A and B are shown apart, each in its own frame.
Chain A
């Protein structure tokens, strides 16, 4: 379905269209001055607790830190965090979290906002606000099968009425097959999904690929595209609606990645 894919063509980011309209005639609340200035770094007022931000460990980490640095945040402590998982700076608290855990940290209010891959968001399906498509960390979810057993899945489907698919992402996989109307048995694995069709555990896999190298090395070919993923800036409903610093940061990030 096209509406679940990130835009391929660059289009206007929503985050600055009319908010820069001329100031209202009524007196402007203190927060508002900040909201009106798109690139101003959100500043902490003395009474405010630090803004809690989760960052995904792993492949999105370096780009996430770089982007926050460009947005004017002090990220010196984040560049080589060592074993430290929580890093406090002036006005901010950063939490380095496993990518798949970022949605739950955000949704339940453990952190106010986060940078997170769309893949994790889609898989968890939790209630949170997706603010900005950050456009880095692009990867695709694909269906793949062994190069030398290309008929096996189809054959199984014709004879058995079902095919077996291994994946780390059962929710995304189920959603995809429901959409195309194919019955599947989903086997959830925790890693090295490519082994499933090679060993005969499953006929196909649904997995993430950035370059396709791992698939090629394991002699797997892409059968179909499931969805495309990029990193997103997200926040929990309550924080997004009550903390103007998140909106200000969202606006900065949107301008930077445009």
Chain B
């Protein structure tokens, strides 16, 4: 049998590993400066337990252990943190600001050749609510991407609150049912404007609702986008979600990040656990988001405690791809493995007195110099 890794998994050799480490370390510094404390979560979870918090994305790896539990390799850290918070921590510990760097295991149908293991850099802010908390999460995501070295990225933010309220109104009209709402949510998740349009033509659905449903996913801009949505939904009595987004936007704008951020009501994240703010980060030429986040105030209820929560997860490998694209665009040389090698000093071993080299190396290392012992002078 060929000595290969499983499909979608790979080894990380020193050059790449150094780069990964440097990015992760820079982002950790930023997150620590905001008061986020590190946590680690288990690689495996009991499927049934995790599902109490919300719908899982694809879980390509499932296995039974000797206790006959159905386990999954974590597809997502957020649900794990919710479980952890509910079972290990209490309301007195809140607010909690947690950060993590963990691998997650996912698979996209149809792209069988691609990776099935991803590294997420993420945070969870538990017990914090309101526009200030939402703004903290968005601003921090932007700062982390900056710390990772990206210069050209944008964030698109929206709120699922407006859509959820609107769907509730549609159901209350009696023209459509729960299944229709689910199909509509799925169409928003999938970014399928054609399906949104078709579903909006459901017989009997009041046209004032249908028009808003058709319009919502097309609204994109700065604060005038919020005004536009307001004009659409205010006559229907929808307020709460939008007010908070407006306040969040005001903070983001005052912090000078309006350039990088757009309001986009087609952002309705792929997970059904979001309750308010949702956002995604993009870099040119990638096709996919660098990461996403938002508010999920009801997730912890699934695990038996009630607390608001928000957070984000950014993909390390996607960030690296975006950095490479930027390098190519700007004709910039990435700091390669050579730089790290050059900082390394060689202390030759003396056959007659081998200990001398160890003592000399220790002296240099104490000064912060990286030192490697050589067998002969000049040998590397």
Q: Chain A, 98-133, contact with B by CB distance < 8 Å: what is the 0/1 string? A: 000001101111100000000000001111111111
Question: Is A11 in contact with chain B by the CB < 8 A criterion?
Answer: yes
Q: A14-B218, A126-B108 are in contact. Are A109 and B288 (CB under 8 A)?
A: yes
Q: A21-B228, A238-B286 are in contact. Are A130 and B215 (CB under 8 A)?
A: no
Q: How many Å lie between the Cα of A126 and that of B190 in the bound state?
A: 9
Chain A residues within 8 Å of B104, by CB: none
Q: How many Å lie between the Cα of A235 and that of B201 in the bound state?
A: 24
Question: Is A64 in contact with chain B by the CB < 8 A criterion?
Answer: no
Stretch from A23-31, A73-81, A185-193 forming part of the interface with B: A23-31
Question: Is B78 in contact with chain A by the CB < 8 A criterion?
Answer: no
Which single residue of chain B is at the shortest CB-CB distance from A25?
B227
Q: A241-B267, A242-B154, A242-B284 are in contact. Are A130 and B110 (CB under 8 A)?
A: no
Which single residue of chain A is at the shortest CB-CB distance from B213?
A14
Question: Is A239 in contact with chain B by the CB < 8 A criterion?
Answer: yes
Q: A127-B108, A241-B280, A242-B156 are in contact. Are A7 and B197 (CB under 8 A)?
A: yes
Question: Is B275 in contact with chain A by the CB < 8 A criterion?
Answer: no
Taking the nearest CB of chain A, how far is it from the CB of B289, in angstroms? Answer: 6
Q: A11-B197, A32-B224 are in contact. Are A125 and B214 (CB under 8 A)?
A: no
Chain B residues within 8 Å of A241, by CB: 154, 156, 220, 262, 264, 266-267, 280, 282
Q: Chain B, 196-228, contact with A by CB distance < 8 Å: what is the 0/1 string? A: 111111000000000110110111111110011
Contact between chains at B110 and A109 (CB < 8 Å): no
Question: Is A232 in contact with chain B by the CB < 8 A criterion?
Answer: yes
Contact between chains at A240 and B191 (CB < 8 Å): yes
Contact between chains at A13 and B227 (CB < 8 Å): no
Question: Is A138 in contact with chain B by the CB < 8 A criterion?
Answer: no
A107, A133, A247: the one contacting B220 at CB < 8 Å is A247
Contact between chains at B287 and A13 (CB < 8 Å): no
Q: How many Å lie between the Cα of A21 and that of B199 in the bound state?
A: 23
Taking the nearest CB of chain B, how far is it from the CB of A89, in angstroms? Answer: 20
Chain A residues within 8 Å of B262, by CB: 241-242
Taking the nearest CB of chain A, how far is it from the CB of B129, in angstroms? Answer: 26
Taking the nearest CB of chain A, how far is it from the CB of B303, in angstroms? Answer: 29
Contact between chains at A107 and B287 (CB < 8 Å): yes
Question: Is B232 in contact with chain A by the CB < 8 A criterion?
Answer: yes
Chain A residues within 8 Å of B196, by CB: 14
Which single residue of chain B is at the shortest CB-CB distance from A28?
B224
Question: Is A12 in contact with chain B by the CB < 8 A criterion?
Answer: yes
Question: Is A200 in contact with chain B by the CB < 8 A criterion?
Answer: no
Q: A109-B286, A236-B288, A241-B264 are in contact. Are A24 and B228 (CB under 8 A)?
A: yes
Contact between chains at A125 and B228 (CB < 8 Å): no
Q: How many Å lie between the Cα of A152 and that of B280 in the bound state?
A: 52
Q: A3-B199, A125-B110, A129-B193 are in contact. Are A238 and B288 (CB under 8 A)?
A: yes
Contact between chains at A26 and B215 (CB < 8 Å): no
Contact between chains at B288 and A237 (CB < 8 Å): yes
Chain B residues within 8 Å of A14, by CB: 193, 196-197, 200, 214-215, 217-218
Q: How many Å lie between the Cα of A17 and that of B210 in the bound state?
A: 11
Question: Is A181 in contact with chain B by the CB < 8 A criterion?
Answer: no
A18, A107, A244: the one contacting B215 at CB < 8 Å is A18
Question: Is B238 in contact with chain A by the CB < 8 A criterion?
Answer: no
Contact between chains at B193 and A131 (CB < 8 Å): yes
Chain B residues within 8 Å of A237, by CB: 191, 280, 282, 287-289
Chain A residues within 8 Å of B232, by CB: 18
Question: Is B194 in contact with chain A by the CB < 8 A criterion?
Answer: yes
Chain B positions 24-42 with a Cβ under 8 Å from a chain A Cβ = none
Which single residue of chain B is at the shortest CB-CB distance from A9?
B201
Chain A residues within 8 Å of B111, by CB: 104, 107-108, 126
Question: Is B285 in contact with chain A by the CB < 8 A criterion?
Answer: yes
Which single residue of chain A is at the shortest CB-CB distance from B186?
A3
Taking the nearest CB of chain B, how far is it from the CB of A14, in angstroms? Answer: 3
Chain A residues within 8 Å of B190, by CB: 127, 130
Question: Is B192 in contact with chain A by the CB < 8 A criterion?
Answer: yes
Contact between chains at B193 and A130 (CB < 8 Å): yes
Chain A positions 197-251 with a Cβ under 8 Å from a chain B Cβ = 232, 236-242, 244, 247
Between A and B, 19 residue pairs with Cβ closer than 8 Å are A3-B183, A3-B198, A18-B211, A18-B215, A18-B228, A18-B231, A19-B215, A19-B218, A19-B219, A26-B224, A103-B110, A104-B110, A130-B194, A131-B193, A240-B266, A241-B154, A241-B266, A241-B267, A244-B220
Which residues of A come within 8 Å of B, CB atoms?
A: 3-7, 11-15, 17-19, 21, 23-26, 28-29, 31-32, 35, 49, 103-104, 106-110, 124-133, 171, 232, 236-242, 244, 247
